[in-house]
Amino acid sequence: MAVISLRGWHPAIARAEAEAMFDQALITRGDSRRLLIAEGDCDWEKAEIMSGTECVLTDGGICDWTSLDDLLSQIKVEKTENMAVVCWRHEGKLPIGTKEIERAVGGKFHRENSTFNLQNPSKRFGVVLDASAGMVAWGWMVGQGPGKHGWSSMRANNRPFFRPVSLEPRLARAAVNIAAGTNEGLVVDPMCGTGGILIESGWAKRKTLGVDFDPEMVIGTKANLEWAGVEAVVERGDSTRYEFPADICAVVVDPPYGRNSQPSESKLLVKTLENLRVRCGDFKLVLIIPCSPELANLDEEIKPELELFGFEIIAAFGIPVHKSLARKMIIATTLPLD
């Protein structure tokens, strides 16, 4: 058993990302907003490229918080070299300090003659206090752990080519991971704009293709990719006619917003999806479009309220932007062609 510790910016999308990236595990939810239980073996190292997962806690456990003594009695320790103990909180406070837990758990390892390196440990033992459900989870950390980890430096307004409607990097990364999962095929953004989706896909070392009709966008995207230090193919083309390769595993698209922002009202988007569906095999689609702020929901799925010809919608999520705008993430799979 492992425990997946989620970040708090959008737990519902983070759960969808975890299910896509750890597809060999049986993942279940309990009372906690941000702790998932995973049964089965997976490549937990994938947590390193996920935007919604802090880390995976392995060889540990999860339970209701009762007392420090009860927690210590459940933590199994053995001599470990060059380690550190890290404790952090999820939302609110339980009646104990993180430093007190670090000292107590570290003391238990110390009594087994473990050695410690707080600056550059080889292994980190994590304890997370989740006040949303009054729970505590623990185990060896796989992944970055809590913290922002440089997301602000990757924001669109820091890139050499910028447009205000660009996706937040965390959302773009999650969208790519949800669409592509553990597949090794090509990730495509058929309306790549300034290249935010391509940057996050390329950063994760996925094969990536971006297409845009506007030559200014193609030039700007190439500059942004160079700035980010990632590789992706970017071409100018009409996405409604472009000869997309057949080995696509994922399509992620944040179409340009106009007066007709709904997919059913956008001829460009509809024709693009039709072109992809005819030319390519089966793939997963993540579509991000504007929606009413009332649909924003950080914790649960929302109703899609949408139909896409040739696709089956399997989930939808509402994402707050500001008081007058939200986004809706639509996740869909291809339907058989007649």
Phi–psi pair at 3, nearest 5 degrees: -120, 125
- Band (pLDDT 50/70/90 cuts) for residue 165 is confident
Domain end among 142, 163, 189 = 142
Q: Are residues 234 and 285 in the same domain?
A: yes
118 and 225, same structural domain? Answer: no
* Percent helix / strand / coil, the chain, rounded to 5: 30, 30, 40
User: What is the per-residue pLDDT across 248-257, written as a single tens digit (0 to 9) for each?
Assistant: 999 999 998 6
Residue ending a domain, choose from 94, 117, 142: 142
Query: Pick the residue with more confidence: 337 or 317?
Result: 317
Answer yes or no: do 166 and 194 share one domain: yes
Q: Return the ∠ at Cα 243 (arms to 242 and 246), rounded to 5°.
A: 135
**At residue 259, what is the residue type?**
R
Domain containing 268 equals 152-334
Mean per-residue pLDDT of the chain = 94
Q: pLDDT tens digits for 104-129?
A: 999 999 999 999 999 999 999 999 99
| 99 in a structural domain | yes
Residues 47, 71 within the same domain: yes
Let me know if residue 147 belongs to a domain: no
Q: Are residues 167 and 316 in the same domain?
A: yes
Whether 110 is in a domain gets the answer yes
Asked whether residue 84 falls in the same domain as residue 112, the answer is yes
CATH number where 273 lies = 3.40.50.150
SS3 61: strand
CB atoms within 10 A of CB 301: 17
Whether residue 15 is contained in a domain is answered as yes
Residue percentage of the chain with pLDDT more than 90: 85
Q: Specify the 3-state DSSP secondary structure of 69.
A: helix
Q: Are residues 16 and 115 in the same domain?
A: yes
Q: Is residue 107 part of a domain?
A: yes
pLDDT over 90 (residue 151) = no
- Based on the fold, state whether residues 51 and 114 are members of the same structural domain: yes
pLDDT digits (tens, 9 = 90+) for 263-290: 544 889 999 999 999 999 999 999 999 9
Encode pLDDT of 189-230 as tens digits: 999 999 999 999 999 999 999 999 999 999 999 999 999 999
Give the total number of structural domains in the chain. 2
Which tokens hold the place of 82? Answer: 């060059």
Residues 176 and 132 in one domain: no
Residue at a domain's end among 113, 142, 171 = 142
* Residue-level pLDDT at 259: 41
Residues linked to residue 124 through DSSP beta bridges, in sequence order: 84
**Cα–Cα dist 274/297, whole Å:** 30
